[in-house]
Structure 1
Amino acid sequence: MTAHAHSPSWFGIAVSKLFIRVMFRQVQGWKRDVPSRAEGFVETASDGSKLEGAVLLANPAKAKGVVLLCHPFLKYGMHYFFENGIDQAFLDQGYHVVAFNFKGFGRSTIGGHAFADDVLSIARKIAREYPGLPIHLVGCSFGGYHLSHALARDASPFTSAVLDSVPVSVRSYFTRGPLRLAMRWISGSRLAVPTGTCAIDHSLKSVHHLPIAYFYGLSDRYIPEASVARLSLDCTSLHVVGFEACRHLENHKKHRDQYFQEIFAFFARAESHKPVVTA
């Protein structure tokens, strides 16, 4: 069993679940129905969480693949992508879009202790329902942080992953108040790996043969240049793109054309190198 697959004790799981409920309360409880253009679903994750999600279909006969969107640490959860028109950009290029709320966000329940489980559970749903299509991950901030840890557990379902505005360490994001103290404690404890609070380079450096892109704003206070340099050294195959004059989560807002051009070119390169397995 690898370090990434290590399971904490029952006490560790209990502490982690309590941590999620108490410390993430500020972004939990907000609910909204999926857009009328989408089809809603509820998927039971491997840890028992009931995950609320939405599917938006491109032309089914000509679909290039499926994009799985992982949302940032905001109360809006998956609706962040709908409000910013990110889903439509992928649909326009012929990709089905799947978005979901991590456990504790929206109507998703808390059945376990690791957000990486959520990513892999939704990926398995996609693989069942859209066999043979490439699956690309796009994670913003918090969502990208936990998809990084999901890849360390199992990267096999995916064709590529794009990390947008993802702090290398949780300590860079939570810098004040009780969350800072709690994150410093848990990210330095034995619970760091199983709960996904360890730095992302800890996970990504063990992921081989999967194309991974890392987008960050050059003015993002949560992502110091030194952390990007360290990440690049630890993960030598990473495709790194810096966006001028962008703070946290501003890349797709201030440089929308460049942002999506980079993503679709990256997808195309990844698809050309990974054969699609038909059912």
Structure 2
Amino acid sequence: MSRIHRLLRKPFFGRYEVPWTWPSADEAAKWERVTFKNPGDGQLVGLWGPAECDVIGTLVLAHPMGKAAKGFWLRHGHADLFRRSGFHVLVFDANGFGESEPVSFDYPADILAAGLWAQARTPELPVGLVGASFGAGWGLCSMARAGSPFRAAVLEGVFPTLPDFWRHYPVAYATLRISQLVWPSLERNLRPEREAAKVIGRPAVLLVYGDRDKVTPPAHGQRLMKPLGEAANAELRVIPGVEHTFAYRDARDEYVSRVIPFLTHALQSAAIPQNQRPNFDGCSTHGTDA
């Protein structure tokens, strides 16, 4: 890791890059610990959980920025929801977060590596992506890279550019502005708004925003819909009463009724020709959450 990279990580992610712990003591038995490499040869650490009923596809979950890292999906119940609904699930730590070693700011490469690992693990199944904030923005960028396996994505709270996101964090925002002078290519190469028009394979993409989200407001989604609509079958959903990254927590019934059918239809369509597609009533989406 270069000196400039080490210096820049601190104001952005220093408070979030802490040792990872399980959200609950009994959670470990439900998951298989896995490791894989990103293009910078850094080791990424994840957890693999098989579907609990008839399998529809495989999902990669890309976490938001926070100390919980991959534990976000376990703590708030998303991972269990998806597994109960017929999806294999891979949660993982982006480089520098949780159990994954710091390598670079190329987080889209981490998500692409996770997608390719998931594809290799279940080559007979289509692969989808679910991301929130940090994970959603870099997930969208990863979908524009060669080899992207993602046939569908649910992206919550996507930011159009780094300045749009970091303006809410004064120290990090000032550092970003300085970095644009000393390392201009860094920010230019990490703009979801620009990469949206380059998404590969015309996947189905659902953008989700909360109307109470101050960090990535619905206006960000409206900006992204124009470029994304050129390369994907894109939809925008604004959910009332929802704060940043908490659509499932704040509006559980609406999240389940919108997201699960969307992913089911998109991944079934990607896997099977329409005239050969069976009727699928889905699995239970109810029960105890993590």
The alignment's TM-score, normalised by the length of structure 2, stands at: 0.82
Q: How does 1:151-162 map to 2 (within 5 A)?
A: 151-154=143-146, 156-162=148-154
The partner residue of 2:173 within 180, 191, 216 is 180
Gaps of 5+ in 1: 1-9
Which secondary structure state, in structure 1, belongs to the residue aligned with residue 30 of structure 2?
A: coil
Quote the residue 1:269 is aligned against. 265
Q: Deviations over 1:72-113 (max 9, x none)?
A: 100110001111111110111111111000001112102233
Quote the residue 1:5 is aligned against. none
CA distance in 2, matches of 1:224, 1:264: 23
CA distance in 2, matches of 1:273, 1:95: 15
Quote the residue 1:244 is aligned against. 240
Q: Per the alignment, do residues 186 and 31 of structure 1 end up closer, same or farther by CA in structure 2, a change over 3 Å counting? A: same
Query: Residue 205 of structure 2 contacts residue 235 of structure 2 at CA under 8 Å; is this kept in 1?
Result: yes
The answer to whether the aligner puts 1:220 opposite 2:213 as a matched pair is yes
- 134-143 or 179-188, which moves further after superposition? 179-188
Quote the residue 1:4 is aligned against. none
Q: Per the alignment, do residues 150 and 17 of structure 1 end up closer, same or farther by CA in structure 2, a change over 3 Å counting? A: farther
Percent identity (aligned): 22
Quote the residue 1:38 is aligned against. 31
CA distance in 1, matches of 2:71, 2:261: 25
The partner residue of 2:16 within 17, 27, 46 is 27
CA distance in 2, matches of 1:130, 1:224: 35
The partner residue of 2:92 within 81, 84, 100 is 100
Q: Per the alignment, do residues 234 and 50 of structure 1 end up closer, same or farther by CA in structure 2, a change over 3 Å counting? A: same
Q: Deviations over 1:161-199 (max 9, x none)?
A: 1101222232233223320112234468222244x2x2x
Q: Per the alignment, do residues 89 and 226 of structure 1 end up closer, same or farther by CA in structure 2, a change over 3 Å counting? A: closer
- 17-26 or 46-55, which moves further after superposition? 17-26
Quote the residue 1:192 is aligned against. 187
The answer to whether the aligner puts 1:120 opposite 2:134 as a matched pair is no
The alignment's TM-score, normalised by the length of structure 1, stands at: 0.85
RMSD, aligned CA: 2.3
Quote the residue 1:89 is aligned against. 81
TM-superposed deviation, 1:59: 4.1
